[in-house]
A and B are shown apart, each in its own frame.
Chain A
Amino acid sequence: MLKITNLHASVGEKEILKGISLTVNAGEVHAIMGPNGSGKSTLAQVIAGHPGYEVTSGSIEYDGQDLLELEAEERAQAGVFLAFQYPIEIPGVTNAYFLRAAYNEIRKAHNQPELDPIEFLDVMEEKLTVVEMDASMMQRSVNAGFSGGEKKRNEILQMAVLEPKLAVLDETDSGLDIDALRIVAEGVNKLKRPDNATIVVTHYQRLLNYIVPDHVHVLAGGRIIKSGGKELALELEAKGYDWLLEPVTA
């Protein structure tokens, strides 16, 4: 589904991603872990099409297409979704309007009829229960004045509504208490299907107790320095990252 090959990306003169290769197949959950500043969010934003990062070399193939050729909105319409580490506040646009606009744009892109506000209400009602969110949140401005936990849940709500094929969750767990963490994780698990895939970016093992990854990768200094199965996450939890960062002699 996703094939990243030797990806280099920079901001201005500063190279942040220094040759990343990663393959994600349908039905899989990948976890990307690593210390702060290692480039995890950059990778996530590059996948979503953030215009502030320049891809200097390498490629990303998604569903047989060259992802880097697509605008951010075209990627979303093709099923790519990023749950932001720091969701953006948009005072003045209600969550309800925002979600329906996004939902309809994606339907339009697939030649499906748009839903009017009443029809959309039914969709919403079901999705709100997935993330255990109160309907009153829909009338509030997008993320404006939301608590950290509310923002993260709102990201998962968007994901539930948009039903992406490839979801990238960027530290959706950080700042969440155990209850919120459980809700978010259950939301993700409920949305899991054999034909979609999830990349979970985190630097705690905690979330991976709830969302069990098929593969775990360690990102440091803009490179994937180790990959393994779910046991790797436990090992990282016990030993930290330092042992990986030491120069390895064969």
Chain B
Amino acid sequence: MTPTATYSDQFAALAAPAGAPAWLPALRQQAFERFTTLGFPTTRNEDWHFTSVAPIAERPFKAIKPAATTLTASDLAPWILDPSWHRLVFVNGRFEPGLSQFSELPADVEVATLSDALRESPEWLSAHLGKLAAFDAAAFTALNTAFMQDGVMIHVPKGETVELPLQILCLADAQAQGAAFHPRLLVVAEAQSQISLIETFAAIGGAEYLVNAVAEVTVADGARVDHYKVQQESTDAYHVSAVQVTQGRDSIYHSFSFAAGAALSRANIYTKLLGTGSEARLNGLYVLDGTQHADHQTFVEHIAEACASRELYKGILDGSSHGVFNGKVYVDPEAQKTDGKQTNKALLLSEQARVDTKPQLEIFADDVKCTHGATVGRLDELPLFYLKSRGIGAETAKALLTYAFAAEVLETIENDPLRLALERTVFERFTHASFE
């Protein structure tokens, strides 16, 4: 059976959800045909040069119909950053209303699961769903569009600020073994609105499954969206995600991607700066060990004038893990006064760990400031000696400096509970001491 054939049978058996609008099957059909034509990307594809998805293509991951979870709120505690926040919880791809809470949102802010939104606001959905996440050249996005089961739709109207962050928690447990999940996120932040989102992907136990997530985010004029992603999947799992953002005039989009889980993960974070004076900040940290592989690809399209983009990606690699960072920046001939800065740094803790990094700058305007820098290395001798000269043993000194390496990028997280949680995670992982 060819890799895509696994999905053909499943697609044929896919039933439209009750009450779904007519355009949905057409969109799915179109997407599936595209997926069949494209097939899974190979390493001959420039965008996938350092990441082979053969392990995903070879495994017959299947959609599942999970039973309602028996997990309780206290089981979720390790991932709930603040119990007062709005949250939507999915377990094995299934929405769990009993574990979710989002009724306290401002009345005019609409947050719904995809299945509810299909019933309640199909017109609004047809105007936005699938409009940013193009799948003509993206097999995983096509696959997600063909199979998207559930997800979260968010509409923040003009001028509205959602004060408390909204956390979307996607958990997988033993039931997820062999399953494919295609979660979908749609965010439309109208002019001058603000929202902060945290997507958390985590696992209870070590199942082998595939998460293939797609997010579409519209940040209209003067709006601000903070979009954090915490990827702590099972280390036997596969995680592929694509985020496509468009930004209006003077808008702000801040993204942070933390990746510590999955056997193989790939995150595409793409933004188009369409409005003058908009700002994108794409930061991230990946922490790998064993045979893990994590690939981040960012793409910033400077289309309008006087926009700023900032990227800081860091990786810490142990064992024989493999990290990939590919930062693409395009500056349109019209995008004068572009201010772009991209930095990526990797710290290798072992001889076998490897990093491939490829900044790609295509600049067609002349009045621009664009810089990029990449470093791959080991811990510096001097700080190590300084710590040791104060009585701190070599192992502890290394652990502290490894944490410090990560802290520089974690510091940029403006959400305090999230920043502290990630600082704690990284600190305890390396120092084996408790974090205060």
Closest to A118 in B: B436
Which of A76, A93, A158, A162 makes the CB contact (< 8 A) with B403? Answer: A93
In the bound assembly, the distance between CA atoms of A162 and B392 in angstroms comes to 12
In the bound assembly, the distance between CA atoms of A153 and B382 in angstroms comes to 20
In the bound assembly, the distance between CA atoms of A145 and B147 in angstroms comes to 52
Which of A71, A92, A98, A158 makes the CB contact (< 8 A) with B394? Answer: A71
B411 proximity list for chain A (CB < 8 A): 92
**Structural contact, B386 and A49, CB atoms closer than 8 A:** no
CB of B385 closer than 8 Å to a CB of A: yes
CB of B396 closer than 8 Å to a CB of A: yes
Dominant SS among interface residues on chain B: helix
In the bound assembly, the distance between CA atoms of A75 and B389 in angstroms comes to 7
**Structural contact, A88 and B391, CB atoms closer than 8 A:** no
Which of A71, A91, A117 makes the CB contact (< 8 A) with B407? Answer: A91
**Structural contact, A117 and B436, CB atoms closer than 8 A:** yes
Q: How many residues of B contact A (CB 8 A)?
A: 25
CB of B381 closer than 8 Å to a CB of A: yes
In the bound assembly, the distance between CA atoms of A77 and B383 in angstroms comes to 18
The interface-forming segment of A26-34, A99-107, A178-186 is: A99-107
Which of A50, A117, A141, A158 makes the CB contact (< 8 A) with B390? Answer: A158
B403 proximity list for chain A (CB < 8 A): 92-93
A158 proximity list for chain B (CB < 8 A): 390
CB of B168 closer than 8 Å to a CB of A: no
In the bound assembly, the distance between CA atoms of A193 and B385 in angstroms comes to 27
**Structural contact, A98 and B408, CB atoms closer than 8 A:** no
**For residues 17 through 72 of chain A, which have their beta carbon under 8 Å from a beta carbon of chain B?**
48-52, 71-72
A84 proximity list for chain B (CB < 8 A): 386, 389
**Structural contact, A72 and B381, CB atoms closer than 8 A:** no
CB of B76 closer than 8 Å to a CB of A: no
Given contacts A51-B381, A90-B401, contact A101 B392 (CB under 8 A): yes
Q: Give chain B nearest CB distance to A146 CB in angstroms.
A: 14
Which of A75, A90, A102, A105 makes the CB contact (< 8 A) with B383? Answer: A90
In the bound assembly, the distance between CA atoms of A98 and B397 in angstroms comes to 10
**Structural contact, B390 and A98, CB atoms closer than 8 A:** yes
In the bound assembly, the distance between CA atoms of A75 and B408 in angstroms comes to 30
B368-389 near A? 1/0 per residue, CB < 8 Å: 0000000000000111011111
Give 30 CB contacts A-B under 8 Å.
Answer: A71-B388, A72-B388, A73-B388, A73-B389, A73-B390, A73-B391, A76-B388, A76-B389, A76-B391, A81-B389, A82-B389, A87-B386, A90-B386, A90-B387, A90-B400, A90-B401, A92-B403, A92-B406, A92-B408, A93-B400, A98-B390, A98-B400, A101-B400, A102-B387, A102-B391, A105-B391, A105-B392, A109-B391, A141-B404, A158-B390
